[in-house]
Amino acid sequence: MIATYPFSAVVGLDDLKLALVLNAVSPRVGGVLVRGEKGTAKSTIVRALAAQLPPVEAVTGCRFACDPAAPDPACPDGPHEPGEQRLRRPAALVELPVGASEDRLVGALDVERALTEGVKAFQPGLLAAAHRGVLYVDEVNLLHDHLVDLLLDAAALGTCYVERETVSVRHAARFLLVGTMNPEEGELRPQLLDRFGLTVEVRASRDPGERAEVVRRRLAFEAGPEEFAGRWAAEESALAGRIARARDRLPGVRLPDARLRQIATVCAAFEVDGLRADLVTASAAMAHAVWQGRQVVTTDDVRAAARLSLPHRRRRDPFDAPGLDEELLERLLEETSGPDDPDDPDDPHGPDGPGDDGPGDGGPVGGGPDGLGPGDGGSSGESAGLGSETSREDAGSHPQGVDGQAAGTAEAGPQAVDGPAGSRPAAPAGRPAGAAEPYRVPLLQVPGLGEGAAGRRSRARSAHGRVTGARRPRGRLHGLHLTATILAAAPHQRTRGRTGPGLLLRADDLREVVREGREGNLVLFVVDASGSMAARRRMTAVKTAVLSLLLDAYQRRDKVGLVTFRGAAAEVVLPPTSSVEAGAARLRSLPTGGRTPLAAGLAKAADVLRVERVRDPARRPLLVLVTDGRATAGGDVERAAGMLDGTASVVVDCESGPVRLGLAVRLAARLRARLLPLDALSDLGSAVRDYRKAV
Ligand SMILES: [Zn+2]
């Protein structure tokens, strides 16, 4: 086995290291969500931490890692007698792949064996494997909602319940949960964010010296992992010892009332929902205290905890990135720092002895008394929200203008997006929709039945959703359809020699359920940004429409992409991504003007779709072409349109004015696209809504 990169050798990333250590010290902290760009060694450092956890003693042969001292009474492999054979092994590090099935995560009963052989064989899943170790979920934001719920439920309860196919199994599943996500690929829903104990924002250092050191160590490690690890062995064993000692001391740590009130004040001031933030902050502060060698929680511990526990909990718009106002935190802490407990040892004298060069005072793991980073958390003001700032080219217009087009200027005030789950009321019918408020658009769908990633747009065969039929299993059985199975077996009972009661089942009688749910799609916007659109001030209305469609795509869990065409060529402004925030930001700063190379736009779209078909074959595309149909520069529109044959399309017709050429209408017919006049988009949206309400 190859050596693990040493935790102590990780350069920088102090917040992340501290968050992981606090979780290693106290399971009540509730996991870490790591947000950050790719290539920041997130998995390396999680692996490194797992190697630092105290080894686990388990009952030999128990697939659920029962502690011999306190075996799980409900253990499916139990009951275990006292004095059973035991083994000592490192704490597990289990990775949950994004494409994992529910069976893989929680385990599954082998229904086929159960029905045909009468054997009750439960196959444990990854949650069992992670018990008493670390569960690492890379790209947790891309995981199916349903799996995220199961995962977070188990993490919260410390127990995994498997209730399916008339069999229920329950086993302990306590693990340190670490999720990572790249915000560029889409945010996690706020209610899921809240269920991670801590969040940390990571980014590669911008300091050349530090970067060089990272690379130097990495190269040294790759050249000789064993030797490199050997050089850090002393630090590593000191760290492991320190974690183990902190764990031992945790039950004796004291949280003075003044500090608890301080935590409550801070949480209230940051307007977090519920009391979970208070609980997590208190747990993290207690873990931080023992980690620093204190037995009484101080303001420093509260600060260190709050910086990690609050950024993702403050109330915010769905398109805001998490972040914390550090100045506000500092002020609140100061106001409530009160008289410290008399027997409170203010100086963090390390209990670890002289041999310990651990992180007590600004060592490799940050969070010392002055451990406030230089605003890494970011502030809400710089987030790429759907219009947290007025678009540059239109600054100065009235955000609430009476005229629909002038109103399109402020794009969207911070108040304009009020909920991730479609709670936005549509603009009242009859009033021209201004861009200050993205409006609700009608549901645009890809026809047919897809098999893409779960979402809320087009119909699809899916693992979840309503049961629409039964079929013979293809490969392993997923979800028994009991009625269909009995019906399949019924005609053969006599020939199989049945005499008494009870059905004689054979493997080929088994039928599984076919479900239908909804999938997310790739919504590719192709937007005319040429002068002809801008000159007639249509661009603001167009941007509003696209923003509204983007918001809709966010709610339906689509991937989005943006191609624009103007001047001499078309450009992929936003390659397909799940980050609607990125789409909104690019759209806001979109330059306009010049000639109209429509054919180039269509050809570019065909290009993007071709590449995406290879990268993500199950995801069906929906092309949304926003144009007046005019082409004043290069390329044969007819030929370019031919490249898009077979693609589900919508043409949003932007033509306006008294004389109309109907070019977009013709283009829509050529593409076999649904045609939607720009002005009807919002009205239609509210009409659809009103209709649904009426029926
Ligand atoms: Zn057991």
pLDDT tens across 18-34, in order? 999 999 999 889 899 99
Give the separation between CA 368 and CA 19, rounded to whole angstroms: 13
Residue 119 Cα to ligand 1 midpoint, Å, equals 19
Model confidence at 166, pLDDT cuts 50, 70, 90, reads low
Taking only the tens place, the pLDDT of each residue in 278-326 is: 999 999 999 999 999 999 999 999 999 999 999 888 755 545 556 778 8
Residue 68 Cα to ligand 1 midpoint, Å, equals 8
Residue 64 Cα to ligand 1 midpoint, Å, equals 5
Quick one: average pLDDT of 491-496?
82
Examine the pLDDT at 401 and tell me if it is beyond 50.
no
Residue 177 Cα to ligand 1 midpoint, Å, equals 21
Give the separation between CA 655 and CA 627, rounded to whole angstroms: 8
Examine the pLDDT at 104 and tell me if it is beyond 50.
yes
* Radius of gyration for the alpha carbons in the chain, expressed in angstroms and rounded: 29
End-to-end CA gap in the chain: 64
Examine the pLDDT at 198 and tell me if it is beyond 90.
yes
Q: What is the dihedral of CA 158, 163, 167, 169, to 10 degrees?
A: 0
Quick one: average pLDDT of 371-387?
33
**Strand arrangement, sheet containing 522-528:** 569-577, 559-566, 522-528, 621-627, 648-653, 674-677
Give the separation between CA 564 and CA 677, rounded to whole angstroms: 19
Quick one: average pLDDT of 126-144?
89
Residue 187 Cα to ligand 1 midpoint, Å, equals 38
Which residue in 276, 536, 613, 674 is the catalytic one? 276
Q: Match 């101080």 to its residue by tokens.
A: 298
Examine the pLDDT at 389 and tell me if it is beyond 50.
no
Looking at residue 192, its pLDDT comes to 75
Residue 65 Cα to ligand 1 midpoint, Å, equals 6
Q: Match 């589900």 to its residue by tokens.
A: 648
Taking only the tens place, the pLDDT of each residue in 603-659 is: 999 999 998 888 888 899 999 999 988 888 878 898 999 999 989 999 998 887 777
Lowest mean pLDDT among 91-105, 152-166, 255-269, 592-606: 152-166
Lowest mean pLDDT among 7-21, 424-438, 450-464: 424-438
Yes or no: say if 583 and 577 are a contact pair by the CB < 8 Å rule.
yes
Looking at residue 245, its pLDDT comes to 95
Residue 122 Cα to ligand 1 midpoint, Å, equals 13
Yes or no: say if 674 and 444 are a contact pair by the CB < 8 Å rule.
yes
Residue 69 Cα to ligand 1 midpoint, Å, equals 11
Looking at residue 221, its pLDDT comes to 94
Q: Match 């005319």 to its residue by tokens.
A: 528
> pTM value?
0.60
Examine the pLDDT at 207 and tell me if it is beyond 70.
yes
Paired tokens of 188: 């996690």
Looking at residue 100, its pLDDT comes to 82
Residue 123 Cα to ligand 1 midpoint, Å, equals 14
Looking at residue 430, its pLDDT comes to 29
Higher confidence at residue 406 or residue 306? 306
Quick one: average pLDDT of 264-270?
91
Examine the pLDDT at 691 and tell me if it is beyond 70.
no
DSSP letter (8 states) at residue 293: T
When the pLDDT of each residue in the chain is averaged and rounded to a whole number, the result is: 78
Taking only the tens place, the pLDDT of each residue in 331-352 is: 999 888 876 554 444 444 444 4
Tell me, yes or no, if 276 is annotated catalytic.
yes
Residue 57 Cα to ligand 1 midpoint, Å, equals 12
Give the separation between CA 295 and CA 249, rounded to whole angstroms: 8
Residue 90 Cα to ligand 1 midpoint, Å, equals 17
Examine the pLDDT at 155 and tell me if it is beyond 90.
no
Residue 201 Cα to ligand 1 midpoint, Å, equals 37
Residue 78 Cα to ligand 1 midpoint, Å, equals 5
Looking at residue 417, its pLDDT comes to 32
> How much of the chain, in percent, has pLDDT values that exceed 70?
79
Q: Which helix (H) or strand (E) holds 565?
A: strand 559-566
Examine the pLDDT at 189 and tell me if it is beyond 60.
yes
Model confidence at 693, pLDDT cuts 50, 70, 90, reads low
Residue 154 Cα to ligand 1 midpoint, Å, equals 17
Residue from 196, 214, 219 nearest 13 by CA:
214
- The strand pairing partners of 566, in sequence order, are 569
Higher confidence at residue 155 or residue 500? 155
Higher confidence at residue 153 or residue 267? 267
Looking at residue 437, its pLDDT comes to 63
Examine the pLDDT at 517 and tell me if it is beyond 70.
yes
Yes or no: say if 30 and 155 are a contact pair by the CB < 8 Å rule.
yes
Per DSSP, the three-state class of 385 is: coil
Quick one: average pLDDT of 373-397?
33
Give the separation between CA 4 and CA 45, rounded to whole angstroms: 9
Higher confidence at residue 379 or residue 641? 641
Looking at residue 390, its pLDDT comes to 32
Yes or no: say if 306 and 278 are a contact pair by the CB < 8 Å rule.
no
Looking at residue 199, its pLDDT comes to 92
